[in-house]
A and B are shown apart, each in its own frame.
Chain A
Amino acid sequence: MPIIALLIFTFATALIGLFIPIRYGNRFAFISSLIVFIYSLYLFCTFPITADFQYVVDYSWIQSLGIHFKVGMDGISVLLVMLTTFLTPLIIFSVRKSEPRPRAFYSLLLFMEMALIGVFVSMDGFLFYIFWEIALIPIYFICLLWGGKDRVRITLKFFIYTLTGSLFMLVGLIYLYLHTPGEHSFDIQALYTAGKSLSAHAQCILFWFFFLAFGIKMPIFPLHTWQPDTYSDAPTQGTMMLSGIMLKMGIYGLIRWMIPMLPVGLSQNAQYVMWLSIAGVLYAGIIAFTRKDMKRLLAYSSISHVGLIAAGIFAFNGQGLQGGIIQMLSHGINVVGLFFVVDIIQSRTGTRDIASLGGIRLKAPYLATVFAIIMLGAVALPLTDGFPGEFLLISGVFKFENIMGAVVGLTIIIGAVYMFRMYQRTILGETSLATENFTDLTAGEKAVLIPIVIMVILIGVCPNLFLKVSEPAILKLLGGI
């Protein structure tokens, strides 16, 4: 029942938000998302550490087809729901007052939160697909209505790109559904059984169908070409949503749906997909190094980080999966923080061009400090949130194959290089024309960034707080195959 409450509450607030007087729009959206956060925090704190799904609700939805409205949370879901509900209030709070059509904007953000929570709690393949697609609609409109100059072309490309993957996943899901034993059903367990019973050949083909869907969403090289354009042209809140939470849908899909359903498909293709992921890590890292636009740099760094997560998950061992989970959280937090910092810089100076910035530290020490901490998290310094994740991921890949581990380990170096370079050119040095009148963080901006900084350090210092929640579920996953 708590899950239904979460879904209904976010959906209701999204609807009500459309009719609230504009003056209260911001407060309303923020407070309602805060309530969702507090409630899910409560769920998280009282979450029993077992491998079983909790709070399972199961309604028959379309009887004749065996489709159920079945939701539940295990250790993996609860962490991602936490991530969603933690970031959404911050994202909503970061919206600038000058945004046109604020009510629709807030409503779409809340609606998106609903869809994302739905994706992370679905235990029915059909329901999962519906939420997966519904999440696309608000982000499409957010990018279309509030995006940058070239938004029409870019958002359409984004939409068609992701829908391509989704439709292939739909074909795969129907195929699996028709192979479920007895009365056909979309229940997650039935789909697991169906997938495992398929021949190796069929599993391999389905593996690529699902890979297309999840790989585009994450994105994995070479399916990433929509991402830098979309990230840099979307409004900042859209980018935060996309990079902070939405790409976790893809990773979550891998862990929850694809790998347990198609173990043989994975073991036969792990080589290829891991090399693709690793290629993405290096390729995107090197490109990030050459970017002049801060947002684009972060977009490519995101591809690079996600490549590492994917490689760790495809390695499919305890370290890799646990690392993937914790890195999903920390990447979400870091990237939202970083995009917000870029947004602050852009709103003050009117530019994201690295070359024309500099010396911000002299004018805004707070911003410089916060930026530094989040950046250190992103480059995985020990005691920040990036470290446990990357450490586990790389050791997971090592366990799979030494050469891959060695190559993927380069990511730490490359990441540090482009991040420090950006920091150095924008924050340190002499002030430039653009940054002469730079003002420090306002109270509102601090309110967004301080929780992020706290989380960066919290996850870094005691990652076990989160790892222990997902551990039983991961062990069950590993044992089940």
Chain B
Amino acid sequence: MNTLIILSALGVVALFAEIFRFRKGLFPLILIGLAAAFFFTAKEYNHPQVFFGMMNFDNYAVIFSCAILIIAFLWFMMAKNYFLQETSVTDHFALILFSLVGAVVMVSFNNLTMLFLGIEILSVSVYVLAASDKTNVMSNESGFKYFLMGSFATGFLLFGITLIYGVTGSFDLTTIQHNLSTGRETYMALAGVLLLMIGLGFKSSLAPFHFWAPDVYEGAPTTVTTYMATVVKTAAFAAFYRLFSLCFWQLAAHWTDVLSWMVVLTLFIGNVSAVRQRSVKRMLAYSSVAHAGYIAIAIVAMSVPSTCAILYYTFTYSISSLSAFTILFIVSRHKGSKDISAFEGMSKANPLLSFTMTVAMLSLAGIPPTAGFFAKYYVFYTAINHGFTWLVLVAVLAALVGIYYYFRVIIAIYFKPEQQLVPIKVGPLHRTVLIITTILTLLFGLFPNLVLGWL
């Protein structure tokens, strides 16, 4: 609960900062605030608290909140410069902080209304942020598309919640779970589960509800895209898993088939479409869709290790993509292009950028000893443990396709002839972010217990 209070207070302060001409000090204040929020959240570890039956800060919620706060902290360091060039720094920061509130609600809800509220709080801020590059048509398109599609998905979500309410007579997760377990597997309940799956599948960009993702990711400002690929994705999957593992696991026999085919589609579409992209940003967008497929395998194979698998995967994926997007941001600002050719031959003049990008790509591709490998390993382990070997074989083939496009970036960096020997300027904040993310990627890859040990 402390997290929510601190984050909301920070958001309000950020809004007022515009009036009181407090722009300069706002950024350090936010970082301190996030650190404080992290501290107070971490303190609740092993002290589960339920608030009015609406929110349940169990260890699951605490750890996912911590993960989200860490990612958000790094994200702020990465995005600072971008937003400072804009006139309306403060409302952007405020929007992000409010959406973080939504994310925290999404990982800690104990009631379907809170789930809905969390998703809406998160989404509405991100709709606005996606369109925040006001003079850019692409950005406007992106925001508009996201908003339209997002509201549509929200409709599904609400409809699902209503049906579940109709069957069980409650919004409360424990009551729903209890009422469903007494053998009310009616078609209405199943339809409700299906609709909820569609709504959450949209938020976590699972095919066939992924169509918005590439366009929105590409059109939105790179920093906002980063936010969507990291924080939003983590929160969406945490909510997805929380809901399905708490309420619907008795019905697993009915929905795992649907979800596993969604996974197959996602893996296939995400990876194969990424191969054809020239724009690195769009490639990363499709790769984000593909990674949603890997994460969802852990939901399909719902069992005890799934929680760890989802936490580890979303967290390390977020860190690696934060690294990749930061480099993309730096390079594209320098070269004025997000195309893969912008990366060509930058290895000699920019050893730091090249190395960090290589590690990020290796991690996304799932090559040991990076964290991406262990994430995939753990998901595969979970799935085989639960008897989904065929799904793992599909994922293995998809991962091989993935190698191709991630390595295209590495090849461009190291192989293509030197285009210019002028080093690309990297600010101290960006440098810090890159070093931290790279170290974390390698560290978590070698010592996965640092993350897994908490759950």
A interface residues, Cβ below 8 angstroms from B: 62-65, 129-130, 133-134, 136-137, 141, 144-145, 151-152, 156, 159-160, 163-164, 167-168, 170-171, 174-175, 177-178
- Closest A residue by C-beta to B408: A156
| B415 touches which of A62, A145, A174 (Cβ 8 Å) | A145
Residue pairs across A and B with Cβ atoms less than 8 A apart, 7 shown, are A133-B373, A144-B411, A159-B407, A170-B377, A170-B396, A171-B380, A178-B381
* Bound-state Cα–Cα, A394 to B369, Å: 40
Chain A residues with CB under 8 Å of B392's CB are 171, 174
Known: A63-B449, A134-B368, A178-B385. A167 touches B400 (CB 8 A): yes
Contact B393 A144 (CB under 8 A): no
Contact B449 A64 (CB under 8 A): yes
Q: Assuming A62-B452, A163-B400, A175-B384, what are 4 further A-B pairs, CB within 8 angstroms?
A: A129-B368, A163-B403, A170-B380, A171-B396
* Bound-state Cα–Cα, A133 to B411, Å: 19
Chain A residues with CB under 8 Å of B396's CB are 167-168, 170-171
- Closest A residue by C-beta to B347: A145
Contact B404 A156 (CB under 8 A): yes
Contact B367 A133 (CB under 8 A): yes
Contact B414 A141 (CB under 8 A): yes
Contact A160 B403 (CB under 8 A): yes
- Verify if B33 is at the interface (C-beta below 8 Å from A): no
Contact A152 B393 (CB under 8 A): no
- C-beta contact mask, B416-455 vs A, less than 8 Å → 1, else 0? 0000000000000000000000000000000111001100
- Verify if B175 is at the interface (C-beta below 8 Å from A): no
Contact B449 A144 (CB under 8 A): no
Chain B residues with CB under 8 Å of A133's CB are 367-368, 373
Contact B407 A62 (CB under 8 A): no
Known: A133-B373, A156-B407, A160-B403. A178 touches B384 (CB 8 A): yes
* CB proximity of B95 to chain A, nearest CB, Å: 39
* CB proximity of A205 to chain B, nearest CB, Å: 10
Known: A170-B377, A170-B380, A171-B389. A130 touches B414 (CB 8 A): no
* CB proximity of A276 to chain B, nearest CB, Å: 22
Chain B residues with CB under 8 Å of A141's CB are 414
* Bound-state Cα–Cα, A145 to B400, Å: 22
- C-beta contact mask, B396-411 vs A, less than 8 Å → 1, else 0? 1001100110010001
- Verify if B362 is at the interface (C-beta below 8 Å from A): yes
Chain A contact residues: over half helix, strand or loop, or mixed? helix
Chain B residues with CB under 8 Å of A177's CB are 381
Contact B377 A171 (CB under 8 A): no
* Bound-state Cα–Cα, A136 to B392, Å: 22
Contact B400 A160 (CB under 8 A): yes
* Bound-state Cα–Cα, A129 to B384, Å: 17
| B400 touches which of A65, A130, A136, A164 (Cβ 8 Å) | A164
* CB proximity of B421 to chain A, nearest CB, Å: 14
Known: A145-B415, A156-B411. A167 touches B389 (CB 8 A): no
| A64 touches which of B368, B380, B385, B452 (Cβ 8 Å) | B452
* Bound-state Cα–Cα, A151 to B362, Å: 19
Chain B residues with CB under 8 Å of A63's CB are 449
B interface residues, Cβ below 8 angstroms from A: 308, 362, 367-369, 373, 377, 380-381, 384-385, 389, 392-393, 396, 399-400, 403-404, 407, 411, 414-415, 447-449, 452-453
Which 7 pairs show the lowest CB-CB distances between chains A and B? A167-B396, A133-B368, A130-B368, A174-B384, A174-B381, A152-B411, A160-B403
Known: A64-B449, A144-B415, A152-B411. A160 touches B404 (CB 8 A): yes
| A175 touches which of B389, B415, B449 (Cβ 8 Å) | B389
* Bound-state Cα–Cα, A63 to B447, Å: 10
* Bound-state Cα–Cα, A163 to B380, Å: 16
* Bound-state Cα–Cα, A387 to B390, Å: 46
- Closest B residue by C-beta to A147: B415
Chain A residues with CB under 8 Å of B369's CB are 130, 134
- Closest B residue by C-beta to A67: B448
- Closest B residue by C-beta to A209: B393
* Bound-state Cα–Cα, A171 to B411, Å: 28
* Bound-state Cα–Cα, A233 to B448, Å: 37
Known: A64-B453, A137-B367, A145-B415. A171 touches B393 (CB 8 A): yes
Chain B residues with CB under 8 Å of A137's CB are 362, 367
* CB proximity of B333 to chain A, nearest CB, Å: 27
* CB proximity of A135 to chain B, nearest CB, Å: 10
* CB proximity of B299 to chain A, nearest CB, Å: 18
- Closest B residue by C-beta to A153: B411
Chain B residues with CB under 8 Å of A151's CB are 415
* Bound-state Cα–Cα, A133 to B414, Å: 21
* Bound-state Cα–Cα, A171 to B396, Å: 9
Chain B residues with CB under 8 Å of A164's CB are 400
Chain B residues with CB under 8 Å of A174's CB are 377, 380-381, 384, 392
Contact B449 A62 (CB under 8 A): yes
Contact B414 A145 (CB under 8 A): yes
* CB proximity of A425 to chain B, nearest CB, Å: 35
Chain B residues with CB under 8 Å of A65's CB are 381
* CB proximity of B444 to chain A, nearest CB, Å: 11
Chain A residues with CB under 8 Å of B403's CB are 159-160, 163
* CB proximity of B352 to chain A, nearest CB, Å: 13
* Bound-state Cα–Cα, A62 to B444, Å: 11
Chain A residues with CB under 8 Å of B377's CB are 170, 174
Contact B399 A167 (CB under 8 A): yes
Chain A residues with CB under 8 Å of B393's CB are 171
Chain B residues with CB under 8 Å of A175's CB are 384, 389
Chain B residues with CB under 8 Å of A156's CB are 404, 407, 411
Chain B residues with CB under 8 Å of A144's CB are 411, 414-415
* Bound-state Cα–Cα, A189 to B373, Å: 25
* CB proximity of B413 to chain A, nearest CB, Å: 10
* Bound-state Cα–Cα, A136 to B396, Å: 18
* Bound-state Cα–Cα, A160 to B275, Å: 14
Chain A residues with CB under 8 Å of B399's CB are 167
* CB proximity of A424 to chain B, nearest CB, Å: 39
Chain A residues with CB under 8 Å of B404's CB are 156, 160
* Bound-state Cα–Cα, A170 to B367, Å: 12
Chain A residues with CB under 8 Å of B447's CB are 62
* Bound-state Cα–Cα, A436 to B380, Å: 60
